Amino acid sequence: MYIPSRIAARLLLCCAVAAAPAFAFAQDAAPAKPAVGAQMTPSATYDKLLSGMEKEFVGAAEAMPEDKFSFAPPASAGDFKGVRSFGAQVKHVTEANYYFFGGLSEADMKAKADSLEKLTSKADIIQALKDSFTQAHTYVASITPENAFVMTANGTRGGMAAFGIAHMMDHYGQMVVYLRMNGIVPPASRTGM
């Protein structure tokens, strides 16, 4: 079938005009990436690291069945004498999050530790963990270029955030061992994170 060139040109123009909104929408829907050489704010940097660790840590805690929260490797399985149970690992990081990211007084930290020690159910322990991450995100959101490396009573804000994230990574590694000793593949390993 032959289409005269002036009709073909009009048809092509109509198609281009009709498709323009779709192209514009597709461009807007793509997530914006920072330009090469662009700087992220300290709060955005720490929040990105914290969010990744939160996903892995909470996922690992949720993966362990409640009846295994008291699990600790037996001393006969290696050098595991006196190690924390799985649930105690989760409560320890929860408490530490308030230390690193909370700016609580010594009395408030003692009260927080005492209340966490009393938790026994998986649901209560995980809720406390999630609450501590909410506090951590609030803390890192307050880090600015001006205050990131100003000394406080415990160190710099940036230093405390970095140490807090590194601390939970250490305990996450221990929790992964506990999960695998119970035949559970950690969620981050299942999804290929």
Model pLDDT, residue 6: 53
Model pLDDT, residue 79: 82
Whether residue 133 sits in one domain with residue 82: yes
Domain of residue 8, residue span: 1-30
Whether residue 52 sits in one domain with residue 3: no
Give the CA distances from residue 58 to residues 34, 114, 122, in Å, rounded to whole numbers and listed in that order.
Answer: 28, 22, 12
Helix, coil or strand: residue 179: helix
Q: What is the pLDDT of residues 125-153, one digit of tens each?
A: 999 999 999 999 999 999 999 999 998 88
Whether residue 130 sits in one domain with residue 49: yes
Model pLDDT, residue 38: 66
Other beta carbons within 10 Å of 137: 16
Whether residue 111 sits in one domain with residue 151: yes
DSSP states of 125-139 as a string?
A: HHHHHHHHHHHHHHH
**Cα 140 from Cα 70, distance rounded (Å):** 32
Whether residue 64 sits in one domain with residue 14: no
- Give the number of domains in the chain: 2
- The residue ranges of the chain whose pLDDT is under 50 are 1-3, 5, 7-9, 11-30
What's the CATH code of the domain at 90?
A: 1.20.120.450
Q: What is the pLDDT of residues 13-30, one digit of tens each?
A: 443 434 444 444 444 444
Nearest to 125 by CA among 61, 51, 56, 59: 61
Model pLDDT, residue 32: 59
pTM over 0.85: no
Whether residue 8 sits in one domain with residue 69: no
In a domain, 35, yes or no: no
